[in-house]
Structure 1
Amino acid sequence: MQNYCITTDSNSDLPSSYTEKFGTTIIPQYYAFGDEVYGDEKNMPPAEFYERMKQGELPSSMANNPAVIREKFEQILEKGMDILHIAFSSALSGSYNNVYVTAQELCEEYPGRKIIVLDSLNVSLAETILVIKANHFLEEGKTLEENAALLEEYKKHLHVQFTVDDLFHLKRGGRISGAAAAVGTALNLKPFLYVGTNGNLVSDGTSRGRKKSIRTLAERMKNTLGDAPDKTVPVGIVHGNCPEDARMAADFVTELTGITDIIINDISPSIGTHAGPGALGILYYGEEKKN
């Protein structure tokens, strides 16, 4: 057995069942309502978080804490183990850089130990898929370096397609203009976005009406699955406190693709700060992304 472990951050939305199965160390991401900060030992149930947003409260998000990263990594290094960390997209947060810098410092302090920080260029359950695959490679006996190299290629095939229910939060985050948000709301338009090859968010058209937008996500998935989808990992569906819509999306995915291995989970508050209540995404392994 190789002497290293896989770690990730809370933006991976890694389900607790996988956290327990793999013994995964999670680096917390933070969010706040006013001066009240959450994200480590203090957390808020997602349903409460999104309900407070619906009531008009505006949360903020912040990157991970280098002191916490150090503490959690040192606990592993002191056991004589190396680390492969799967990080939230560097294009969307400073968290990757915080982990990378801390990892470099620790490698100097623990000669002989190795830490590889993999920029997933992805978000949420796409990170979870990488964690699952990384643990598969670990179980197969791949070395730390071999595992990281395989994941670098694998991540190019991970797709994140999502829509939001309320354009206000995209406007607040600078993704669309105030005028576009006003017009889109009046016309009941639901925008589509995806995570591009550089790990950034890309706007990709609109649909009118909620149900149609959810089915369109499933259709886009079907069209980008490619000839050989990886059946060793699940499809992920994430939502901002809209579980019924998530189940509808799962039904559409199964109807259109035949895939039944599906994880449904909440969008973590630190991501939900920007996506808002009603956000919904489908995350999966498919053909290599083109843009």
Structure 2
Amino acid sequence: MKNYLIVTDTTSAMNGDQAKKYGIELVSLSVLIDHQEYKDQIDISTEELYQKLRDGCIPTTSQPNTGYLQNLMEKWKSENYEAIIVITCSSDLSGTWSGFNLVKNDLEMDNMYIYDSRQIGAPVMDMAICAKEMANNDCSVAEIFEMLERKSANVFSFLAPLDFKQLARSGRLSPLAAKMATILKVKALLYLKEDGSCVDKFAMSRTGSKVIKTMIEKFKSANVNAQDFRIYISHADNEELAIKAKNLLQDIFEGIEVFVNKLPAVLTCHGGLGCIAIHYICK
């Protein structure tokens, strides 16, 4: 077993209990509400964030505080790990990757390797868990990075907001466009671009069934199957819809592993209550 520390952040959809189970260090992003800063999963729970949204608050997220990172990384440095592997969300969506690199250089931590996953949400968690398993099996840093690159090249992420209110509140959609979409009862399917640069429109329809059909067609075109892939469904206080999606996907892709968890704060703040994210990623 390699003496490696595997690190990821809370954009991965991993919670504290899961991090303890797998022996992974979980770094919190900041959630900002009414000029108050909270460490995700430490100062504010997912359920508390849901309640803030119900109360009409407009939360935002930001990369981990530099002082917080400095304290964590000084501790890691003192623990003399053979290697520290940090797996962050897409550097185009968050400054977390840059923040780690800044403190790494300040502390001269030559044994730290920081990987920009170009993803967000559950695929990042999947990468971190696999990295930990490989470290436990005596794999080298190079072998772990080969795995990370393979997964980054064989992943796709959808985000389906229940409505457009939070997208308008967060500035991702104009209030007029949100109002028109609501009046017309338009359903939207968003996706993370393959290079991890931004979330964009994948499909829009007046019916939810057509949106689902479009998503399934994408899965089939990528040859998603039970032997080579697994699926993650993350939800923002909408477990009923997530379970329905799980059952549908398992009916279509017989034998495939489908995991359901809660959406990370960074996606909940933009997608709003009720939204779900669906990801496929290679094993």
Do both share a fold (TM > 0.5)?
yes
**3-state SS of the aligned residue for 1:5?**
strand
8 Å Cα contact 2:233/2:259 also seen in 1: yes
Give the equivalent residue in structure 2 for 1:251. Answer: 247
Give the equivalent residue in structure 2 for 1:236. Answer: 232
**3-state SS of the aligned residue for 1:150?**
helix
1:157 partner amino acid:
N
Give the equivalent residue in structure 2 for 1:159. Answer: 156
2:264 partner amino acid:
S
Of 139, 144, 152, the residue aligned with 2:141 is 144
8 Å Cα contact 1:217/1:282 also seen in 2: no
| CA distance, structure 2, for counterparts of residue 220 and residue 257 of structure 1 | 13
**3-state SS of the aligned residue for 2:153?**
helix
Q: Choose 15-24 or 214-223, whichever is displaced more.
A: 214-223
Give the equivalent residue in structure 2 for 1:207. Answer: 205
**3-state SS of the aligned residue for 2:58?**
coil
Q: CA deviation at 1:219?
A: 4.8
Runs of 4+ in structure 1 deviating by more than 6 angstroms, as ranges, are: none
Give the equivalent residue in structure 2 for 1:52. Answer: 52
Aligned pair count reads: 281
8 Å Cα contact 1:91/1:198 also seen in 2: no
8 Å Cα contact 1:159/1:286 also seen in 2: no
Q: CA deviation at 1:246?
A: 0.7
**3-state SS of the aligned residue for 2:86?**
strand
Q: Choose 93-102 or 37-46, whichever is displaced more.
A: 37-46
* 1:131-164 per-position Cα deviation (integer Å, ceiling 9, x unaligned): 1221232233221233123312321112111210
**Mapping 1:243-282, distance limit 5 Å:** 243-282=239-278
**Mapping 1:1-291, distance limit 5 Å:** 1-16=1-16, 18-39=18-39, 42-81=42-81, 82-106=83-107, 108=108, 110=109, 113-199=110-196, 200-210=198-208, 213-214=211-212, 216-226=214-224, 230-231=228-229, 234-286=230-282
**3-state SS of the aligned residue for 2:259?**
strand
In structure 1, list runs of 5 or more residues that go unmatched: none
2:64 partner amino acid:
N
8 Å Cα contact 1:8/1:131 also seen in 2: yes
* 1:22-57 per-position Cα deviation (integer Å, ceiling 9, x unaligned): 211111101122033222574333234223323322
Give me the TM-score of the superposition, normalised by structure 2: 0.89
**3-state SS of the aligned residue for 2:133?**
helix
Change over 3 Å in CA distance of 1:135–1:8 after alignment to 2: same
**3-state SS of the aligned residue for 2:61?**
strand
| CA distance, structure 2, for counterparts of residue 105 and residue 197 of structure 1 | 32
Q: CA deviation at 1:224?
A: 2.5
* 1:156-212 per-position Cα deviation (integer Å, ceiling 9, x unaligned): 112111210121322344443444322211121121111112212121121334566
Q: Choose 212-221 or 235-244, whichever is displaced more.
A: 212-221
**3-state SS of the aligned residue for 1:285?**
strand
| CA distance, structure 2, for counterparts of residue 249 and residue 170 of structure 1 | 22
| CA distance, structure 2, for counterparts of residue 31 and residue 40 of structure 1 | 6
**3-state SS of the aligned residue for 1:162?**
strand
Q: Choose 175-184 or 208-217, whichever is displaced more.
A: 208-217
| RMSD (Å), alpha carbons | 2.4
**3-state SS of the aligned residue for 1:56?**
coil
| CA distance, structure 2, for counterparts of residue 149 and residue 104 of structure 1 | 24
Give me the TM-score of the superposition, normalised by structure 1: 0.86
* 1:216-263 per-position Cα deviation (integer Å, ceiling 9, x unaligned): 5455334434468535xx421101111111111111111111245222
| CA distance, structure 1, for counterparts of residue 277 and residue 220 of structure 2 | 14
Identity of aligned residues (%): 24
**3-state SS of the aligned residue for 1:184?**
helix
Q: Choose 61-70 or 211-220, whichever is displaced more.
A: 211-220
1:51 partner amino acid:
Q
